[in-house]
Amino acid sequence: MKTRTVLAVLLVWATACGVAVDVETDAISRNPALKKWTWLQRPPVARGEAEFGAVDQRVRPAVERELGARRLRKVENERPDFLVTYYAALEKPIDAQAITYAAGVPIAAKLVTEYDRGMLVIDVLDAKTGKLVWRGSGRRVFDPKQTPEERNLQIDAAVASIVDEFAPN
């Protein structure tokens, strides 16, 4: 019991400190004209895996909550200003070339070749052009040794840290 309490306190402390975040595109950072968004329609990486399904059920609401907290409105029947999608490197790294878009990437994008196992990558695309305008990634989000509760806390912390880089409160 004591060990669980100590672990819980340590996890809360680590979560409060945030997640290490990398931003690959900082030229637009946060364009104030971007107010309405929706999810990019695409099959997620690793679709069909039970583990990914559980992660998807946690990441999507966390992104929606964090963007909403920053007064960015999710729309269904209106034209959005930007699209959002994400990638989760659960069991193996993700080749950066596997997550490019037809319209390309901004010139300011860093040259990343691979996202390490455990990373969460959130992309923002211009809704008119389909071009990637912003990418943020959190390191050490997913760990096979995590309990479901620890994973949920880590996802929440990572999404909050990543979205804060895109749209600070």
* pLDDT, tens digit (0-9, with 9 covering 90-100), for 66-78: 999 999 999 999 9
In this predicted structure, the answer to whether residue 169 has a pLDDT above a threshold of 80 is no
In this predicted structure, the answer to whether residue 90 has a pLDDT above a threshold of 70 is yes
Strands (E), the chain: 21-23, 36-39, 73-74, 82-88, 94-95, 114-115, 120-126, 132-138
β-pair partners for 132: 125
The H or E element spanning position 68 is helix 50-69
Give the number of domains in the chain: 1
DSSP designation for 43: P
Q: What is the pLDDT of residue 9?
A: 39
| Residue 72 lies in domain | 2-166
Whole-prediction pTM value?
Answer: 0.80
Residue 109: band (very low, low, confident or very high) from pLDDT cuts 50, 70, 90? low
Residue 16: band (very low, low, confident or very high) from pLDDT cuts 50, 70, 90? very low
- Asked whether 64 and 122 are in contact (CB, 8 A), the reply is no
Q: What is the CATH number of the domain that holds 61?
A: 3.30.160
Q: What is the pLDDT of residue 20?
A: 83
DSSP designation for 119: -
| Encoded tokens for 134 | 């912003």
Residue 81: band (very low, low, confident or very high) from pLDDT cuts 50, 70, 90? very high
Half-sphere exposure of 106 (CA within 13 A, CB side): 18
Q: What is the mean pLDDT of the chain?
A: 79
